[in-house]
Amino acid sequence: QGIRSDEIPVVPLADNAGEVRVIAGEFQQHAGAASTYSPMQVWDIHLRAHATVTLDLPEGWNTAVITRKGDVQVNEHTRAAAAQMVVLDAKGTQVQLHAEADSDLLLIAGEPLNEPVVGHGPFVMNTREEIQQAIRDYQAAILARSRPNPQPTGGAQRHPSHAGERPWVSNT
């Protein structure tokens, strides 16, 4: 889904600590712009240096905090520098974030799906059979793309729509 930046609510944090862009879910009664298939929160958080905030989260949800820029303390015991992720325990209803420097974070939280997960390469499904079907579907799509389109009558030359393919000419 395409979402423009101006469609994403920006919520200031108390004490001028920073702001939260609500991409999905809800933050302080501001609904995110993204539609989701299961309940989740996706918050793009900017914290000013030395700011501390405590954010409310739903009990029992899977939650991760990803530091995109800066350096933060998560729940007073875990430090996360740029490009690091902290996965939170599903117990509890809050996360405390303290920025050592100006920091940009992504908080992602979701209601557990309680479904089996099977992964193979880029594919993630619920069963091994679904993985095998996904691989067959992928291979069939690749094969279908590599076949030339039917040649129009009149012997006109057709050029491929995919880079790297060789053009072909009909002899009709």
Range with lowest mean pLDDT among 44-48, 60-64, 82-86, 150-154? 150-154
If one compares 7 and 140, the residue with the highest pLDDT of the two is 7
Amino acid at 64: A
pLDDT of amino acid 3 = 95
Read off φ and ψ for residue 125, nearest 5 degrees. Answer: -140, -170
Edge-to-edge strand ranges of the sheet holding 94-99: 52-56, 94-99, 71-74, 78-81
Question: What is the tens place of the pLDDT at every residue in 101-136?
Answer: 999 999 999 999 899 999 999 999 999 999 999 999
Residue 37 exposed, middle or buried by CB count within 10 Å (0-12, 13-18, 19+): exposed
Q: What is the mean pLDDT of residues 55-59?
A: 95
Most confident of 38-42, 147-151, 152-156: 38-42
Mean pLDDT of the chain: 87
CA distance 34 to 67: 21
> How many residues are given for the chain?
172
Closest CA to 94 of 65, 124, 130, 123: 65
If one compares 147 and 57, the residue with the highest pLDDT of the two is 57
CA distance 155 to 131: 42
Question: What is the tens place of the pLDDT at every residue in 4-37?
Answer: 999 999 999 999 999 999 999 999 999 999 999 9
Q: Are 98 and 52 in contact (CB under 8 A)?
A: yes
